[in-house]
Protein backbone atom coordinates (compact mmCIF):
# COMPACT_ATOMS: atom_id res chain seq x y z
CA UNK A 1 0.00 0.00 0.00
CA UNK A 2 1.44 3.36 -1.00
CA UNK A 3 2.24 6.15 1.45
CA UNK A 4 -0.48 8.35 -0.09
CA UNK A 5 -3.17 5.76 0.51
CA UNK A 6 -1.94 5.03 4.04
CA UNK A 7 -2.07 8.76 4.84
CA UNK A 8 -5.62 9.11 3.50
CA UNK A 9 -6.88 6.14 5.51
CA UNK A 10 -5.12 7.32 8.67
CA UNK A 11 -6.59 10.83 8.44
CA UNK A 12 -10.09 9.39 7.89
CA UNK A 13 -9.72 7.15 10.94
CA UNK A 14 -8.32 9.85 13.24
CA UNK A 15 -10.90 12.42 12.15
CA UNK A 16 -13.66 9.90 12.77
CA UNK A 17 -12.34 9.05 16.25
CA UNK A 18 -11.92 12.69 17.31
CA UNK A 19 -15.34 13.68 16.04
CA UNK A 20 -17.06 10.78 17.75
CA UNK A 21 -15.73 11.84 21.16
CA UNK A 22 -18.15 14.72 21.66
CA UNK A 23 -21.22 14.29 19.53
CA UNK A 24 -24.89 14.92 20.13
CA UNK A 25 -26.94 13.38 17.29
CA UNK A 26 -25.81 10.21 15.58
CA UNK A 27 -27.43 8.00 12.97
CA UNK A 28 -26.41 4.82 11.19
CA UNK A 29 -28.07 3.63 7.99
CA UNK A 30 -27.60 0.78 5.55
CA UNK A 31 -28.76 0.68 1.93
CA UNK A 32 -27.91 -1.27 -1.17
CA UNK A 33 -28.52 -1.81 -4.84
CA UNK A 34 -28.83 -5.24 -6.44
CA UNK A 35 -28.96 -5.74 -10.20
CA UNK A 36 -29.09 -8.67 -12.60
CA UNK A 37 -28.91 -8.70 -16.37
CA UNK A 38 -28.73 -10.84 -19.49
CA UNK A 39 -27.85 -9.86 -23.05
CA UNK A 40 -27.31 -11.17 -26.56
CA UNK A 41 -25.47 -9.72 -29.56
CA UNK A 42 -24.99 -10.57 -33.22
CA UNK A 43 -21.64 -12.26 -32.50
CA UNK A 44 -23.54 -15.10 -30.81
CA UNK A 45 -22.31 -13.92 -27.43
CA UNK A 46 -24.68 -14.33 -24.50
CA UNK A 47 -23.77 -12.68 -21.22
CA UNK A 48 -25.36 -12.73 -17.80
CA UNK A 49 -24.33 -11.01 -14.62
CA UNK A 50 -25.22 -9.87 -11.13
CA UNK A 51 -24.02 -6.93 -9.06
CA UNK A 52 -24.54 -5.81 -5.48
CA UNK A 53 -23.44 -2.48 -4.01
CA UNK A 54 -23.92 -2.41 -0.22
CA UNK A 55 -23.68 1.07 1.29
CA UNK A 56 -23.14 2.02 4.94
CA UNK A 57 -23.60 5.62 6.10
CA UNK A 58 -22.89 7.12 9.51
CA UNK A 59 -23.83 10.71 10.41
CA UNK A 60 -22.97 12.87 13.38
CA UNK A 61 -24.68 16.24 13.82
CA UNK A 62 -23.57 18.81 16.37
CA UNK A 63 -25.27 22.19 16.02
CA UNK A 64 -24.42 23.42 12.50
CA UNK A 65 -21.58 20.96 11.97
CA UNK A 66 -22.15 17.65 10.20
CA UNK A 67 -19.67 14.82 9.99
CA UNK A 68 -20.64 11.84 7.84
CA UNK A 69 -18.96 8.74 6.55
CA UNK A 70 -19.80 6.45 3.63
CA UNK A 71 -18.44 3.04 2.74
CA UNK A 72 -19.66 0.93 -0.18
CA UNK A 73 -18.36 -1.95 -2.29
CA UNK A 74 -18.88 -3.13 -5.85
CA UNK A 75 -19.45 -6.90 -5.84
CA UNK A 76 -20.15 -8.43 -9.23
CA UNK A 77 -19.93 -11.63 -11.22
CA UNK A 78 -20.58 -12.57 -14.84
CA UNK A 79 -20.92 -15.58 -17.14
CA UNK A 80 -20.25 -15.23 -20.88
CA UNK A 81 -21.28 -17.87 -23.42
CA UNK A 82 -19.47 -17.83 -26.80
CA UNK A 83 -21.20 -19.41 -29.80
CA UNK A 84 -23.34 -21.30 -27.30
CA UNK A 85 -20.55 -23.88 -26.83
CA UNK A 86 -17.94 -22.26 -24.56
CA UNK A 87 -18.19 -20.28 -21.37
CA UNK A 88 -16.07 -17.89 -19.32
CA UNK A 89 -16.64 -16.62 -15.80
CA UNK A 90 -15.48 -13.54 -13.96
CA UNK A 91 -15.98 -12.14 -10.47
CA UNK A 92 -14.77 -8.98 -8.83
CA UNK A 93 -14.87 -7.29 -5.43
CA UNK A 94 -13.53 -3.77 -4.90
CA UNK A 95 -14.29 -0.66 -2.85
CA UNK A 96 -16.73 1.65 -4.58
CA UNK A 97 -16.86 4.63 -2.19
CA UNK A 98 -14.97 5.14 1.07
CA UNK A 99 -14.93 8.69 2.37
CA UNK A 100 -15.35 10.92 5.40
CA UNK A 101 -16.82 14.42 5.13
CA UNK A 102 -17.15 17.52 7.26
CA UNK A 103 -19.87 20.03 6.35
CA UNK A 104 -20.43 23.43 7.89
CA UNK A 105 -22.49 26.45 6.89
CA UNK A 106 -20.33 27.30 3.87
CA UNK A 107 -17.52 24.74 3.89
CA UNK A 108 -17.34 21.09 2.91
CA UNK A 109 -14.29 18.79 3.13
CA UNK A 110 -14.44 15.22 1.79
CA UNK A 111 -11.54 12.80 2.07
CA UNK A 112 -11.20 9.32 0.60
CA UNK A 113 -12.46 7.32 -2.39
CA UNK A 114 -15.12 9.51 -3.98
CA UNK A 115 -16.85 10.58 -7.17
CA UNK A 116 -15.80 13.98 -8.55
CA UNK A 117 -17.61 15.28 -11.63
CA UNK A 118 -18.64 18.66 -12.95
CA UNK A 119 -19.44 20.51 -16.15
CA UNK A 120 -22.46 21.47 -18.20
CA UNK A 121 -22.50 18.79 -20.92
CA UNK A 122 -24.27 15.43 -20.58
CA UNK A 123 -23.37 13.14 -23.51
CA UNK A 124 -20.00 14.30 -24.94
CA UNK A 125 -18.11 15.89 -22.06
CA UNK A 126 -14.72 17.62 -22.38
CA UNK A 127 -14.69 18.02 -18.57
CA UNK A 128 -15.12 14.32 -17.88
CA UNK A 129 -11.78 14.33 -16.09
CA UNK A 130 -12.37 12.02 -13.11
CA UNK A 131 -15.42 9.89 -13.93
CA UNK A 132 -16.62 7.62 -16.74
CA UNK A 133 -20.40 7.85 -16.46
CA UNK A 134 -22.04 6.56 -19.65
CA UNK A 135 -25.41 8.26 -20.34
CA UNK A 136 -26.75 4.91 -21.55
CA UNK A 137 -25.93 3.06 -18.30
CA UNK A 138 -29.12 2.68 -16.20
CA UNK A 139 -27.02 2.44 -13.03
CA UNK A 140 -24.76 5.43 -13.84
CA UNK A 141 -21.80 3.62 -12.32
CA UNK A 142 -18.26 4.98 -12.28
CA UNK A 143 -15.12 4.25 -10.28
CA UNK A 144 -14.07 6.94 -7.85
CA UNK A 145 -10.74 8.66 -7.22
CA UNK A 146 -8.74 8.80 -3.98
CA UNK A 147 -8.20 12.31 -2.70
CA UNK A 148 -9.25 15.33 -0.70
CA UNK A 149 -11.93 17.67 -2.07
CA UNK A 150 -12.79 20.97 -0.47
CA UNK A 151 -15.70 23.20 -1.47
CA UNK A 152 -16.48 26.67 -0.18
CA UNK A 153 -19.88 28.25 -0.88
CA UNK A 154 -20.05 32.04 -0.99
CA UNK A 155 -23.18 33.91 0.07
CA UNK A 156 -23.93 34.91 -3.53
CA UNK A 157 -24.06 31.18 -4.52
CA UNK A 158 -20.60 31.23 -6.11
CA UNK A 159 -18.46 28.28 -5.04
CA UNK A 160 -14.79 27.31 -5.03
CA UNK A 161 -13.49 23.75 -5.36
CA UNK A 162 -9.95 22.62 -4.52
CA UNK A 163 -8.68 19.05 -4.72
CA UNK A 164 -5.57 16.92 -4.22
CA UNK A 165 -5.67 13.42 -5.71
CA UNK A 166 -3.67 10.27 -5.29
CA UNK A 167 -2.02 9.60 -8.70
CA UNK A 168 -3.87 6.95 -10.66
CA UNK A 169 -1.99 3.89 -11.97
CA UNK A 170 -4.40 3.73 -14.93
CA UNK A 171 -5.31 6.48 -17.41
CA UNK A 172 -8.44 8.39 -16.46
CA UNK A 173 -10.90 9.83 -18.93
CA UNK A 174 -9.27 11.78 -21.81
CA UNK A 175 -5.88 10.34 -20.75
CA UNK A 176 -3.80 7.93 -22.85
CA UNK A 177 -1.05 7.41 -20.28
CA UNK A 178 -1.05 6.88 -16.52
CA UNK A 179 0.12 9.30 -13.85
CA UNK A 180 3.54 9.12 -12.21
CA UNK A 181 2.97 7.62 -8.77
CA UNK A 182 5.59 9.86 -7.13
CA UNK A 183 3.64 13.09 -7.64
CA UNK A 184 0.13 13.91 -6.34
CA UNK A 185 -2.36 15.54 -8.71
CA UNK A 186 -4.10 18.79 -7.80
CA UNK A 187 -6.49 21.36 -9.19
CA UNK A 188 -9.52 23.52 -8.59
CA UNK A 189 -12.70 25.02 -9.96
CA UNK A 190 -14.60 28.27 -9.47
CA UNK A 191 -18.30 28.61 -10.37
CA UNK A 192 -19.96 32.02 -10.64
CA UNK A 193 -23.73 32.43 -10.94
CA UNK A 194 -24.99 34.69 -13.71
CA UNK A 195 -28.42 35.94 -14.62
CA UNK A 196 -30.41 32.80 -15.52
CA UNK A 197 -27.26 30.71 -15.57
CA UNK A 198 -23.70 30.19 -14.40
CA UNK A 199 -20.14 30.04 -15.71
CA UNK A 200 -17.11 28.19 -14.35
CA UNK A 201 -13.37 27.76 -14.88
CA UNK A 202 -11.48 24.59 -13.91
CA UNK A 203 -7.80 23.62 -13.69
CA UNK A 204 -5.91 20.37 -13.11
CA UNK A 205 -2.20 19.50 -12.89
CA UNK A 206 -0.51 16.12 -12.93
CA UNK A 207 2.81 14.49 -13.80
CA UNK A 208 2.28 11.71 -16.35
CA UNK A 209 4.39 8.63 -17.11
CA UNK A 210 4.55 7.13 -20.63
CA UNK A 211 7.03 4.34 -19.97
CA UNK A 212 4.20 1.81 -20.32
CA UNK A 213 1.77 2.81 -23.05
CA UNK A 214 -0.13 0.96 -25.75
CA UNK A 215 0.01 3.72 -28.36
CA UNK A 216 3.74 3.76 -29.30
CA UNK A 217 4.14 7.23 -27.82
CA UNK A 218 7.55 8.68 -26.87
CA UNK A 219 8.75 7.34 -23.52
CA UNK A 220 9.26 9.70 -20.57
CA UNK A 221 8.97 9.07 -16.84
CA UNK A 222 7.96 12.65 -15.95
CA UNK A 223 5.63 14.62 -18.24
CA UNK A 224 4.09 17.76 -16.79
CA UNK A 225 0.48 18.05 -17.92
CA UNK A 226 -1.78 21.04 -17.32
CA UNK A 227 -5.38 21.29 -18.34
CA UNK A 228 -7.84 24.15 -18.13
CA UNK A 229 -11.58 24.02 -18.67
CA UNK A 230 -14.33 26.54 -19.19
CA UNK A 231 -18.06 25.85 -19.13
CA UNK A 232 -21.34 27.69 -18.78
CA UNK A 233 -25.08 27.07 -18.98
CA UNK A 234 -28.23 29.17 -19.15
CA UNK A 235 -31.96 28.61 -18.96
CA UNK A 236 -33.51 30.89 -21.57
CA UNK A 237 -36.64 28.86 -22.14
CA UNK A 238 -34.35 26.65 -24.16
CA UNK A 239 -31.46 25.25 -22.14
CA UNK A 240 -28.10 26.28 -23.61
CA UNK A 241 -24.57 25.33 -22.58
CA UNK A 242 -20.97 25.08 -23.67
CA UNK A 243 -17.98 23.17 -22.33
CA UNK A 244 -14.34 23.31 -23.44
CA UNK A 245 -10.98 21.98 -22.25
CA UNK A 246 -7.39 22.51 -23.32
CA UNK A 247 -4.71 19.97 -22.31
CA UNK A 248 -0.97 20.66 -22.74
CA UNK A 249 2.06 18.44 -22.03
CA UNK A 250 5.56 19.87 -21.66
CA UNK A 251 7.20 16.97 -23.57
CA UNK A 252 6.87 16.15 -27.27
CA UNK A 253 4.19 13.47 -27.29
CA UNK A 254 3.50 13.67 -31.03
CA UNK A 255 -0.15 14.32 -31.83
CA UNK A 256 -1.28 14.22 -28.19
CA UNK A 257 1.10 16.94 -27.01
CA UNK A 258 -1.86 19.33 -27.15
CA UNK A 259 -5.57 18.54 -27.06
CA UNK A 260 -8.45 20.96 -27.53
CA UNK A 261 -12.03 19.81 -26.88
CA UNK A 262 -15.18 21.89 -27.28
CA UNK A 263 -18.86 21.10 -26.82
CA UNK A 264 -22.05 23.11 -27.34
CA UNK A 265 -25.51 21.85 -26.50
CA UNK A 266 -29.16 22.65 -26.04
CA UNK A 267 -32.30 20.99 -24.71
CA UNK A 268 -36.03 21.68 -24.71
CA UNK A 269 -39.19 19.93 -23.53
CA UNK A 270 -41.96 20.10 -26.11
CA UNK A 271 -45.57 20.22 -24.92
CA UNK A 272 -46.53 16.95 -26.60
CA UNK A 273 -48.45 14.51 -24.44
CA UNK A 274 -46.62 14.15 -21.15
CA UNK A 275 -43.65 16.18 -22.45
CA UNK A 276 -41.13 15.20 -25.13
CA UNK A 277 -37.60 16.08 -24.00
CA UNK A 278 -34.97 16.60 -26.72
CA UNK A 279 -31.25 17.24 -26.13
CA UNK A 280 -28.53 17.86 -28.75
CA UNK A 281 -24.77 18.23 -28.35
CA UNK A 282 -21.88 18.79 -30.73
CA UNK A 283 -18.30 17.83 -29.82
CA UNK A 284 -15.14 18.81 -31.69
CA UNK A 285 -11.70 17.44 -30.73
CA UNK A 286 -8.34 18.49 -32.20
CA UNK A 287 -4.85 17.23 -31.34
CA UNK A 288 -1.38 18.19 -32.48
CA UNK A 289 2.20 19.11 -31.65
CA UNK A 290 1.41 22.82 -31.88
CA UNK A 291 -0.55 24.55 -29.12
CA UNK A 292 -3.48 25.19 -31.44
CA UNK A 293 -3.50 22.65 -34.24
CA UNK A 294 -6.68 22.10 -36.24
CA UNK A 295 -5.23 19.62 -38.74
CA UNK A 296 -6.01 16.46 -36.74
CA UNK A 297 -9.45 16.17 -35.28
CA UNK A 298 -12.81 14.51 -35.07
CA UNK A 299 -16.39 15.65 -34.64
CA UNK A 300 -19.31 13.89 -32.98
CA UNK A 301 -22.96 14.86 -32.61
CA UNK A 302 -25.26 13.52 -29.92
CA UNK A 303 -29.06 13.43 -29.75
CA UNK A 304 -31.22 12.27 -26.83
CA UNK A 305 -35.00 11.93 -27.04
CA UNK A 306 -36.97 10.99 -23.93
CA UNK A 307 -40.71 10.52 -23.43
CA UNK A 308 -42.48 9.56 -20.16
CA UNK A 309 -45.63 7.53 -20.81
CA UNK A 310 -46.46 7.82 -17.09
CA UNK A 311 -44.76 8.28 -13.74
CA UNK A 312 -43.56 4.68 -14.05
CA UNK A 313 -42.75 4.22 -17.76
CA UNK A 314 -40.14 6.06 -19.80
CA UNK A 315 -38.76 5.58 -23.32
CA UNK A 316 -35.32 6.97 -24.13
CA UNK A 317 -33.26 7.02 -27.35
CA UNK A 318 -29.63 8.15 -27.73
CA UNK A 319 -28.03 8.63 -31.15
CA UNK A 320 -24.41 9.56 -31.89
CA UNK A 321 -23.06 10.50 -35.30
CA UNK A 322 -19.36 10.33 -36.21
CA UNK A 323 -18.75 12.99 -38.90
CA UNK A 324 -15.23 11.73 -39.62
CA UNK A 325 -16.14 8.07 -40.08
CA UNK A 326 -19.72 8.65 -41.28
CA UNK A 327 -21.03 6.19 -38.70
CA UNK A 328 -24.22 6.29 -36.64
CA UNK A 329 -24.55 4.79 -33.15
CA UNK A 330 -28.10 3.97 -32.02
CA UNK A 331 -29.36 3.08 -28.55
CA UNK A 332 -32.92 2.76 -27.23
CA UNK A 333 -34.16 1.84 -23.77
CA UNK A 334 -37.45 1.39 -21.95
CA UNK A 335 -37.74 1.72 -18.18
CA UNK A 336 -40.61 0.45 -16.06
CA UNK A 337 -40.77 1.21 -12.33
CA UNK A 338 -42.50 -1.28 -10.07
CA UNK A 339 -42.96 -0.93 -6.31
CA UNK A 340 -39.44 -2.15 -5.44
CA UNK A 341 -37.85 -3.13 -8.75
CA UNK A 342 -36.92 -1.24 -11.92
CA UNK A 343 -36.98 -3.03 -15.28
CA UNK A 344 -34.73 -1.86 -18.13
CA UNK A 345 -35.00 -3.13 -21.70
CA UNK A 346 -32.18 -1.97 -23.99
CA UNK A 347 -31.26 -2.41 -27.63
CA UNK A 348 -28.52 -1.01 -29.88
CA UNK A 349 -27.42 -0.99 -33.51
CA UNK A 350 -23.84 0.23 -33.82
CA UNK A 351 -20.71 -0.22 -35.97
CA UNK A 352 -18.47 -3.19 -35.17
CA UNK A 353 -15.54 -0.84 -34.51
CA UNK A 354 -16.60 1.37 -31.64
CA UNK A 355 -15.02 4.84 -31.75
CA UNK A 356 -17.12 7.15 -29.56
CA UNK A 357 -14.63 9.19 -27.47
CA UNK A 358 -14.28 8.05 -23.85
CA UNK A 359 -16.69 5.15 -24.17
CA UNK A 360 -14.15 2.43 -24.92
CA UNK A 361 -15.08 0.32 -21.88
CA UNK A 362 -18.84 0.34 -22.50
CA UNK A 363 -18.18 0.18 -26.23
CA UNK A 364 -16.94 -3.38 -25.90
CA UNK A 365 -20.51 -4.35 -25.03
CA UNK A 366 -22.39 -1.88 -27.25
CA UNK A 367 -20.45 -2.67 -30.44
CA UNK A 368 -22.50 -4.27 -33.21
CA UNK A 369 -26.14 -5.17 -32.63
CA UNK A 370 -27.52 -6.42 -29.34
CA UNK A 371 -30.24 -6.45 -26.70
CA UNK A 372 -30.16 -6.57 -22.91
CA UNK A 373 -32.60 -6.87 -20.04
CA UNK A 374 -31.78 -5.64 -16.53
CA UNK A 375 -33.55 -5.74 -13.18
CA UNK A 376 -32.54 -3.29 -10.44
CA UNK A 377 -33.59 -3.48 -6.78
CA UNK A 378 -32.82 -0.64 -4.36
CA UNK A 379 -33.32 -0.98 -0.61
Mean pLDDT by 10 residues, the chain (379 residues): 56 56 79 96 90 97 92 96 86 96 95 96 95 91 96 96 94 90 97 96 97 89 97 96 96 91 97 96 91 80 97 96 92 95 96 71 74 96
Q: Give the DSSP letter string of 300-351.
A: EEEEEEEEESSSSEEEEEEEEEETTTTEEEEEEEEEEE-SSEEEEEEEEE--
The whole-number pLDDT of residue 63 equals 84
Burial of residue 253, with CB atoms counted within 10 A of its CB: 0-12 exposed, 13-18 middle, 19 or more buried: buried
Question: Is residue 25 domain-resident?
Answer: no
The whole-number pLDDT of residue 301 equals 96
Question: Is residue 266 domain-resident?
Answer: yes
Contacts of 113 (CB under 8 A, 6+ apart): 95, 96, 97, 98, 99, 144, 145, 146
**Could you give the CA distance from residue 333 to residue 314 in angstroms, rounded to a whole number?**
8
**Could you give the CA distance from residue 304 to residue 134 in angstroms, rounded to a whole number?**
13
**Could you give the CA distance from residue 204 to residue 189 in angstroms, rounded to a whole number?**
9
The whole-number pLDDT of residue 337 equals 95
Question: Is residue 321 domain-resident?
Answer: yes
The whole-number pLDDT of residue 288 equals 87
The whole-number pLDDT of residue 361 equals 57
Question: Is residue 128 domain-resident?
Answer: yes
Contacts of 172 (CB under 8 A, 6+ apart): 129, 130, 145
Closest alpha carbon to 4 in 172, 146, 208? 146
HSE-up of residue 36 (Cα within 13 Å, Cβ side): 2
Which range marks the domain in which residue 265 is found?
A: 115-157+251-378
Question: Is residue 60 domain-resident?
Answer: no
**Could you give the CA distance from residue 104 to residue 63 in angstroms, rounded to a whole number?**
10
The whole-number pLDDT of residue 12 equals 57
The whole-number pLDDT of residue 21 equals 54
The whole-number pLDDT of residue 314 equals 97
Question: Is residue 127 domain-resident?
Answer: yes
Please count the structural domains in the chain: 1
DSSP letter, residue 131 = -
Question: Is residue 27 domain-resident?
Answer: no
**Could you give the CA distance from residue 105 to residue 330 in angstroms, rounded to a whole number?**
45
Closest alpha carbon to 83 in 50, 36, 42, 49? 42
CA distances 120 to 45, 273, 297, Å, are 37, 28, 22
Contacts of 216 (CB under 8 A, 6+ apart): none
The whole-number pLDDT of residue 251 equals 93
Question: Is residue 313 domain-resident?
Answer: yes
The whole-number pLDDT of residue 16 equals 55
Amino acid sequence: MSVYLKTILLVIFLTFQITCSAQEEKSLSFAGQASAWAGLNDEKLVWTGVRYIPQLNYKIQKKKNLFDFEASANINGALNFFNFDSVSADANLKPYRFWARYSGDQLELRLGLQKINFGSASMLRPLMWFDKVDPRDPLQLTDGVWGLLGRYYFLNNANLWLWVLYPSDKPKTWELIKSNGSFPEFGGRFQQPLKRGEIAISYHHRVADSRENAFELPVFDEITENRIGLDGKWDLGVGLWFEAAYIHKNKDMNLVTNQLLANIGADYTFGLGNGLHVMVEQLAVTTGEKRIDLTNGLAFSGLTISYPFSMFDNLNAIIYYDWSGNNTYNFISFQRKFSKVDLHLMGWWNPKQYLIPNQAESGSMFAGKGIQIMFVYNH
